[in-house]
């Protein structure tokens, strides 16, 4: 038996279509156009690619995109004053500050300066606290994407054993909390976990967010488990002619895992495309809440 391939590209396309439908509805029924502001400080090439992609997809969904590109040398005070302006701009429903920031800036202070209701990355301390106490919050995009894919595949997640490997603030911890809020029995594994294969072997759901290429082996999995691979790792592989090329792989050894798992996300084309789709979904949620409208349930938690 080969696992069902959970196609994140396809699913992200469906989420974007749902977002576009909601934008059309907000425009025609309420006269509101959701707006997302993205702030980029400096010239980091990967960040520039992400910001361009976010802007393009925001516009394609019918929303307003506001891009603010600041010089690498910009002072923290100037960045904070831009955030303050965006916080007070009624046309802006979501604010995202692209990370990492230049070294002279305090990332935590900058993130916590964003109005929590506009914090579409879900990193503000108030949103972290609200998620962890099961209150309405903005949820970090990557774990939200994983959850939407899991819900789509399983329906009800209640009572399932879930193992999240990784305890970062942006993926592992919020993912574990989301699964707990869905009434899964959740284990968080990390670099000090003893006998990881044994821990993973008891899980109906495995979410890998480690950053170690193809670390998780198929024979560690429980038969039929659902595997969500968040890892994005660039490795070098040799061509037949001896030349070397780069390849993207996940944290899970896909070839061995697909023989045991019931369902699995590929890398690339799994969780990756869901992150921006969920950023757009979060902007809809923020826009609806700002206007006293119940946000669509299928685009959030």
Shortest CB 217 distance to ligand NDP, Å: 12
Q: Does 247 bind ligand NDP (CB under 6 A)?
A: no
Determine, following the binding rule CB under 6 A, whether residue 142 of this chain makes contact with ligand NDP: yes
Site for ligand NDP in 248-277 (CB under 6 A): 271-272, 275
Cα atoms in the Cβ-side hemisphere of radius 13 Å centred on 21: 10
Sequence-distant (≥ 6) Cβ neighbours of residue 197 within 8 angstroms? 217, 219, 220
From CA 248, how far away is CA 213, in angstroms rounded?
Answer: 9
Q: For the CB of residue 232, give the shortest distance to ligand NDP in the complex, in Å.
A: 4
Q: How far is the CB of 202 from ligand NDP (least distance, A)?
A: 16
**Residue 299 · residue 284 · CB < 8 Å:** yes
Q: Which is nearer to ligand NDP, 144 or 284 (CB)?
A: 144
Cβ neighbours, 10 Å, residue 267 = 24
Strand-pairing partners, residue 47, are none
Contacts of 190 (CB under 8 A, 6+ apart): 165, 166, 167, 172
9 sits near ligand NDP (criterion: CB under 6 A)? no
* Residue 147 is a binding residue for ligand NDP (CB under 6 A): no
Catalytic residue list:
54, 98, 121
Q: Which residues pair with 170 in a beta bridge?
A: none
Binding piece for ligand NDP, criterion CB under 6 A, among 30-38, 183-191, 241-249, 255-263: 183-191
Which segment (61-69, 95-103, 186-194, 286-294) binds ligand NDP by CB under 6 A? 186-194
Residue 274 C-beta: closest distance to ligand NDP, Å: 7
Centroid of chain to Cα 195: 28
CB atoms within 10 A of CB 236: 8
Burial class (CB in 10 A: 0-12, 13-18, 19+), 246: exposed
Query: Is residue 170 at the binding interface for ligand NDP, with CB under 6 A as the rule?
Result: yes
Q: Which of residues 38-77 bind ligand NDP (CB under 6 A)?
A: none
Residue 223 CA: distances (Å) to CA of 16, 159, 205, 231, 258: 33, 17, 11, 21, 10
Cross-strand pairs, 38: 67, 96
Q: What angle, 0 to 180 degrees and rounded to 10, lies between the N-to-C axes of helices 141-154 and 272-290?
A: 100
Cβ proximity to ligand NDP: between 86 and 278 the closer is 278
Residue nearest to ligand NDP (CB): 168
Burial of 33 per CB tally in 10 Å (0-12, 13-18, 19+): middle
Q: Could you say which residues in the range 188-217 bind ligand NDP, by CB under 6 A?
A: 189-193, 196, 209-212
Nearer to ligand NDP, 189 or 288 (CB): 189
- Of 46 and 90, which has the nearer Cβ to ligand NDP? 46
Using the rule CB under 6 A, give the single segment among 67-75, 77-85, 164-172, 287-295 that binds ligand NDP: 164-172
Number of residues that bind ligand NDP (CB under 6 A): 25
Which residues contribute to the site for ligand NDP (CB under 6 A)?
142, 165-168, 170-172, 189-193, 196, 209-212, 230-233, 271-272, 275
């Amino acid at each position: 038996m080969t696992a069902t391939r959970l196609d994140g590209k396809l699913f992200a396309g469906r989420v974007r279509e749902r977002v576009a439908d909601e934008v059309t509805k907000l425009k025609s029924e309420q006269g509101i156009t959701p707006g997302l502001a993205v702030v980029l400080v400096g010239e980091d090439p990967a960040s520039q690619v992400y910001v361009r992609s976010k802007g393009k997809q925001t516009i394609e969904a019918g929303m307003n995109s506001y891009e603010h590109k600041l010089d690498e040398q910009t002072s923290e005070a100037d960045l904070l004053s831009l955030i303050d302006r965006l916080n007070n701009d009624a046309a802006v429903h979501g604010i995202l500050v692209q990370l990492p920031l230049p070294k002279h800036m305090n990332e935590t202070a900058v993130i916590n300066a964003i109005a929590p209701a506009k914090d579409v990355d879900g990193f503000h301390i108030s949103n972290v606290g609200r998620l962890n106490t099961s209150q309405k919050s903005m949820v970090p995009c990557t774990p939200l994407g994983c959850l939407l894919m899991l819900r789509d595949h399983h329906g009800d997640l209640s009572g399932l054993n879930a193992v999240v490997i990784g305890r970062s603030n942006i993926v592992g911890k919020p993912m574990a909390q989301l699964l707990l809020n869905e009434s899964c029995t959740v284990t968080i594994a990390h670099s000090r976990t003893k006998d990881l294969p044994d821990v993973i072997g008891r899980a109906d759901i495995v979410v890998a967010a480690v950053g170690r290429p193809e670390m998780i082996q198929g024979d560690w999995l429980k038969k039929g488990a659902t595997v969500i691979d968040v890892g994005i790792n660039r490795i070098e592989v040799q061509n037949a002619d001896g030349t070397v090329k780069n390849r993207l792989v996940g944290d899970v050894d896909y070839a061995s895992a697909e023989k045991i798992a019931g369902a699995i996300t590929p890398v690339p084309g799994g969780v990756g495309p869901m992150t921006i789709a969920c950023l757009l979904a979060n902007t809809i949620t923020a826009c609806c809440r700002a206007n006293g409208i119940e946000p669509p349930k299928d685009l959030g938690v």
